[in-house]
Every structure is written in structure tokens, then in C-alpha cells.
Chains A and B, each alone.
Chain A
């Protein structure tokens, strides 16, 4: 990373008489660091150039120039200190947020991963069938740089080399055995029989094209020693932008939704990424299968966050009050023991509690409830209760600490005055202590709400969002909150990944979080503190 000139401590004394910017060690460090950054940047630029990724290339070049300009010019000191942190901030916080916004308007996901050209190529390669009565090619499996290749000998005795990535190319310097079959080639390593067995699945997946045009067909092997000619059953026609099935004659044309579809609605598996406008949002709000679950998940997210804050705050405040006694024995030990859940890593807490609450083998059922099969994690309502209970366990120590601190900082004279006026302890608490406390604690309560709103770990580790909702095909459960739903839609097993829909859901969360932060800023007025 580009950093500012770092001069070791020992050079300080020596250079004290020099002018600030002339420290030799500092200059040297600056040159070396900037040189490393530039070397890396040039490497990235070359790769981008070779891969013909022009837009990113231009952006990367601009960033590199900017970094050099920041560090090589005189003055502009603040930028030199801020640049490293801001670089990461812009790339991995700001850019990814904007990018989420973009993805939300595409159909990006399984089956829609890439450009149309890639999709066409991949359909052609996937729809290969052995050409009937085609000649057998004798092959030797060879390897170079970890990649497997076919060394083929065609029926005429001509020898070629090729892999899935590189089409067959004729070679003349191969070593042949008595039958004329090529067995070795310079720079390549021939695989032994046991290696062929070990890499079986990779070898079966090898599809070596005859030329750059996939319509020319490919070679494949099923035993590692003989390969047959395969040709595509789907042929792409550039002019009409359609695929034609060579056997049935069905024509598949671009549906406008990132797929090829036949007249009777048959769809080819591989599609490509297109912009779909508001389709993902429309889907989220109007598709019966998603709207219901989404509504229930959103409501539960708010409920979960709200009850979590209130329950932890109530318990924390109660405990803080109970222990706010000048001479209570063992206060310190109680305190340390009570803080332990807060110190326990949250993801482990979810997993440990999932064991405790396990209906069949769990400690809670077997020890506290005499072996009853209480479905703590599998009944929708009880699962919600369990999630809240575990979050209470995790969160009350924090509120206890916060409230203790806030209680102790309350002015004592107000209490004194109220007591002299004859206020009961309860009255004293509700009318004086609580309002004063809330003033100082409110920002933390809002922060806690915002945190619990996206409290992924507790939910995911304890119930995995389950039990699953029965009235939908979407993989969503009764305890899923918005962020776990996003994760499930984007990376879940089972149904295909749908990055577009997942991003649309993230955008919804972004908006909700934005509203919460506006409220919180109003509350804290922290904006005014900055001078």
C-alpha cells in the first residue's frame, strides 16, 4: 500500500538539522514504497490490457496516476495521509455499495453469469453429441503447467496437441510407439495409468475443439486412450441470432430476457447477464411466492431488532439498578461473570445454544424439562422466542455496562432533592433517573437497533433461518431476517443463486439503514460536534 514516507526512529536525530522534507531515509522509504505500488499497478495494467478489459484499464491507470501525483508533488499533505485508507474505503465500501445498486437491476445469477458471447460459446460446447460412425482418435493424456492436454493421433497418423482452452494444433516432434501412436511430446509430461485414474473426472470433462469455431466439433474421451468426434447439436446462426437444433429442427431465438427460447417456450439452460430494470424489485413486491415471505421477513426483522433492544436494555437497566448499591459483597465477581456472554464470540454462541436447545439431545430439554421434546428451534413461534432469548443472553451484559456507567454519572443532588420531597423509590426511578438516563443512552439504543437489524450471526448459527416457511418455494424460514435472506438467495444451496434479486433486497436494507441513521444523527446531534 502507498504510505507516507516512513522514517525510522534512529534517523530522527541525524536529520534534525536538515529541512523537514529532505530526510534521506524518509525519501528512500518513499521511493521504495511508491515503486512497489507502481510495479504492482503496472502488472495489473498489463494483465488488464491483455484481457482487453478497457474500462477497468482506464480506471486503474487513472488511479495509479492519481496516487503518484499525490505522493510526488510538493504540498497537499493531508491527501498523503488520507489516500491509503480512502483507497480501500472507496473500493470495498463505497464502490461495492454502488455496484450492489447496479446488480439489483440485472438478472445476474446462476445461468446468467456472463456476456452473451460467452453464453453462446458455452451452449455450443455443452450441446455436443458423438458423431455417429466417426473415426476413433488415439490419445495420450499429457500435462503442462497443471493443465491436461490431449496428444492425439488421428486415423491418418497425423499428430496434434490441444486442450479445452486451446484448439488442436498439429505437431511434428512427438515421440511415437510402434503402432504410430504419439506417446510423448517435448515440454509435456505424459500421465501414468494411476494418474489417469486419479484425475478421471477432469479427463472426462476435457472437450478439445478442432478449431476456434465450436461448430467444427470437438474431441472427447471416455477411457483416456481413445477419443471420438463430437459435434454440436445446436448450431448458432450469426445473422439471425438463433440456435437451431440439428436433430429436431427447433429454432431458439433471443427472448430479450437473457436466454434463448424456442417458439413453444423451451429455454436453453445457459443464459447471459442483461439489465432488467426494476424487474427484481417488481418481482420482490408482486410475485406471490416472494412477496409474502419478504413481508413476513421484514416484519420479523423489525420485531427482532426492537425486542432485542428493549429486552437487553430492560434487563441491563434492572441489573444496573440492582447492583448500584454502595456496599454489596461480591459485586466484582458477579460483574465479571455476567460480562462473560458479551465476551463470548457471537457466532459460537449461536452454535452452542443450538446444541443446548436441540429438541432430542439438548441439555435444556433433557435436564430442565425432563426429556420433553420441546421443539425450541423447529416450531416457528418457539424458534423466534429462542432467537430472542439467545440474543438477550448475548446482549444484556453490554446494556448492563452501559446503564451502570450512565447511572453512576447521574448527578446525586437531584436524587437527594427528590427524596427530600418524599418521592418513592419507584417514582424517583421513573420520573427522574430514567428520563435522565435515556438522554445519554438513546444514541446507543439506536446503534444497538441498527446492529441487531443486521445481526446475521445469531440467526444463521442458531436456526439457520429455520424452520422453513411452508407456503413458498423460496428458501426462507420463520426466523430469517433480511440479511440472512439476502445471503440465502445469493449463496444458499438448493435453488439457484440469484445475485440480482439478492442485491435488490440489499438495496431495500440500505434504505432502511439510511433512515435509521438519519434518525440517529438527529438524536445525537453529533454533526454539530465536528468543528
Chain B
């Protein structure tokens, strides 16, 4: 979603070739263009490519004529009819989907962070038999995304349904458990690296003062690694909010579904008819994730750069 207000200003000249820079100095146009002008041209074209789908969906969301054909002139009318309809359809409970996504995402990412931090603490601070092998196994295992085993996950949950119905198919708790299968892996690895940067002399001092290993973990280490915990948690949340495959297999009741599964069903059958309402749902679903993402941008970019330079 175009959260930035200056967007339209930059998008409108997308077809134009001239990009009037405010500071046209005395140098010739040709020299300016060779140095900077083409860069602005590239920037404007790319920016237009990047944001026009987002502007389009925002415009469709604000246009309550509702069909796809009716939303082809951007921002031709602005009202909130689609949003009202979005929240008033009992067969497609958008509000519930939103909450489900939020709850599943928050619980899973919190648990992921916690489990990952426990493991990273052990790997970083303790030396034990099988440590190297365990770390390597984690590194290998995280190459195989869980969705590859979606059939087996479905059958396993089908079995669990017979034993503990509230953890089986159709249960959000069951889905969270499945997601926790991926809690270690990359996360532990990221955290392990960060934990290693905290000097071990800090824990030793605390241990000499009589703190137990648990106290060291909760009161010394965790506060110092909060940034990486936040980043891992938020990244996990962003990833989960887009997860479709496993959620669609596990959650079959519309009331318990997540946004990804629900919104797909919105346009799955007749894409063009519910278009406006779907667009409104898409805007609301995307906003929090995009806001989080932009907020985290700095960390993500740093993480990427760190990863890329290490090689």
C-alpha cells in the first residue's frame, strides 16, 4: 500500500520522458543527463513499476462500485463502502481472519523467539558433545522448507485429531505447533551469531556473584540481545502472515482461517465480482505488515549486507 503521501507526485510523470530536476545548473543538459539525468529517469520508471499495482489496489479499495471493470480509472471516486461491506459479510468474516492471523502470528513468533533463544544460549555458552553436529544439522535442515512435507503434515494432524481433537486438523493451536517445527533453524543461527558477540566475561561475573544459569539467561543475556530477538520475532511474523499452504490444509472452517487463506477464497472463484471488497481487505491486510517491514528496513538491510559480505 502506498503509505507515503508523496507517491502520486512521483507516479504521475511516469510516461513522461523529462524529469525536471529543481537544480538545473549552468552545465549543459547533455552533461547533466549523462551524470545524473538518466539515473532520475531510471528511478522514475522503476518507481512507477514498483508502486502502480499498489496504487491500483488502493484505488480499487476506495471505489465502492465493486467490480474489476469499474476500478480501471485510478481514484475516480473515493468512499469507504467496500470497507463497510468487508466487515459485514458473515460468510467471510474478515475481522476474525485478521484476528486469527494476528494471534497465530504473535503466539508463533513469540514462541519461536523463545525456543530459538534457549537453543542459541546453549550453543553459544556451553560446550558439549554433539554441539557441532547439532549446529550443522540445523543448518542442513533449514534448507528444506516445511511446505515440502505438507502431505505428511496433513496426515500427521489427521492422526492427532483422533487422539487430541483440539490439537488436530482445524485447530489453530495445532497449526502453531506445526509452525514451531521451524522455530529452530535459521533463527537459532542468526541468534547464535549475535549471542557470541556478548562477552562471556559478563556471565562469568554473574556466576561468581551466585547467579544460576537460568538467571544469567533471563537477566543478563536476554536484555542484551533484545534487538536480535525483536528482529527475529518480527521477521517470523512477516513470514507467517503470508503463509498459505499449511494454513489452507489445516484450517478448514472459515471462522478459524487466516487472512491468506480467507482472502484467497474471496477471489478464488469469481475474481472480478468481489474485486472492490477484496481490494479493501488486501489494503487492511497489507498495511500492518508493510509498516512493520519499513520500520525494520534498517535491520533487514544490515542483516542482508552482513550475510552477503561474510561469504
Evaluate contact between A77 and B53: CB separation under 8 angstroms: no
**Which residues A173-222 have CB closer than 8 A to chain B?**
none
Please, how many angstroms separate the alpha-carbon atoms of A516 and B201 in the complex? 40
A339 and B72 contacting across the interface, CB-CB below 8 Å = no
Q: Select the stretch in B36-44, B92-100, B225-233 that faces chain A.
A: B36-44
B122 & A81 in contact (Cβ 8 Å cutoff): yes
Interface set of B (CB-CB < 8 Å, partner A): 1-2, 4, 6-7, 10, 21-23, 36, 38-40, 42-43, 46-47, 49-51, 53-54, 56-57, 60, 67-69, 71-72, 111, 114-116, 118-119, 121-122, 126, 128, 131-132, 134-136, 139-141, 143-156, 159, 162-164, 177-178, 180-185, 188, 207, 209-215, 217-219, 241-242, 244-245, 248-249, 260, 263-264, 267, 271-272, 275, 278-279, 282, 285-286, 289-290, 293-294, 297, 300-301, 304-305, 307-311
Q: Mark A449-473, 1 if CB is under 8 A from B, else 0.
A: 0100010110011000000000000
> Is the beta-carbon distance between B148 and A402 smaller than 8 angstroms?
no
Closest to A443 in B: B311
Say which size band chain A's interface belongs to.
35 or more
Q: Please report the C-alpha to C-alpha distance between residue A402 and residue B155 in the assembled complex, in whole angstroms.
A: 39
Pairs A–B under 8 Å by Cβ, sample size 21: A3-B114, A43-B164, A93-B146, A96-B149, A99-B156, A318-B42, A329-B22, A340-B50, A341-B53, A344-B289, A345-B289, A355-B68, A355-B271, A405-B301, A450-B143, A461-B244, A483-B147, A499-B151, A503-B151, A503-B152, A523-B311
CB pair A490–B271 under 8 Å, yes or no, is no
Interface-facing stretch out of A160-168, A224-232, A289-297, A359-367 = A359-367
Closest residue to A4 on the B side, CB-wise? B214
- Chain B CB within 8 A of A338 CB: yes
Cβ A442 vs Cβ B49 within 8 A: no
A444→B39 contact, CB < 8 A: no
Cβ 8 A contact of B264, one of A81, A405, A461: A461
Residues from chain A with a CB closer than 8 A to the CB of B249 are 491
A417 in the interface (beta carbon within 8 A): no
The CA-CA distance from A315 to B45 in the complex, in Å, is 12
Known: A48-B163, A334-B43, A347-B242. A454 touches B183 (CB 8 A): no
A509 at the interface (CB under 8 A from B): yes
A341 and B145 CA atoms in complex are apart in Å by 23
Interface string of A304-338 (1 = CB under 8 A from B): 00000000000100110011010011100110111
Q: A82-B118, A499-B155 are in contact. Are A328 and B293 (CB under 8 A)?
A: no
Contacts of A96 in B (CB 8 A): 146, 149, 152-153, 156, 181
Number of A-B contacts (CB under 8 A): 347
Given known A16-B210, A345-B241, A456-B244, contact A490–B50 (CB-CB < 8 A): no
Closest 3 CB pairs of A and B: A92-B181, A405-B305, A20-B212
Asked, given contacts A23-B215, A337-B10, A345-B286, whether A402 binds B308 with beta carbons under 8 Å apart, the answer is yes
Give min CB distance, A209 to chain B, whole Å. 21
Contacts A88-B181, A343-B293, A351-B267 given: A93-B141 contact, CB under 8 Å? yes
Residues of B contacting A250 in the complex (Cβ-Cβ under 8 angstroms): none
| A340 lies within 8 A of B178 (CB) | no
Contact between chains at A92 and B212 (CB < 8 Å): no
Q: Which residues of A are at the interface with B, using a C-beta cutoff of 8 A? A: 1, 3-7, 9, 12, 15-21, 23, 26, 43-44, 47-48, 51, 53, 56, 77-78, 81-82, 84-86, 88-89, 91-97, 99-100, 103, 108, 315, 318-319, 322-323, 325, 328-330, 333-334, 336-349, 351-356, 358, 360-363, 366-367, 393, 397-398, 401-402, 405-406, 409, 439-444, 450, 454, 456-457, 460-461, 483, 486-487, 490-491, 499, 502-503, 506, 509-510, 513-514, 516-517, 520-521, 523-524, 526-527, 529-530
Minimal Cβ-Cβ distance residue in A for B163: A47
Given A330-B43, A397-B50, the answer on whether A345 and B301 have CB atoms closer than 8 Å is no
> Judging by beta carbons under 8 Å apart, are B152 and A103 in contact?
yes
Q: Which residues of B contact A328 (CB under 8 A)?
A: 36, 39-40
Give the CA-CA distance A23 to B210 in the complex, in Å: 11
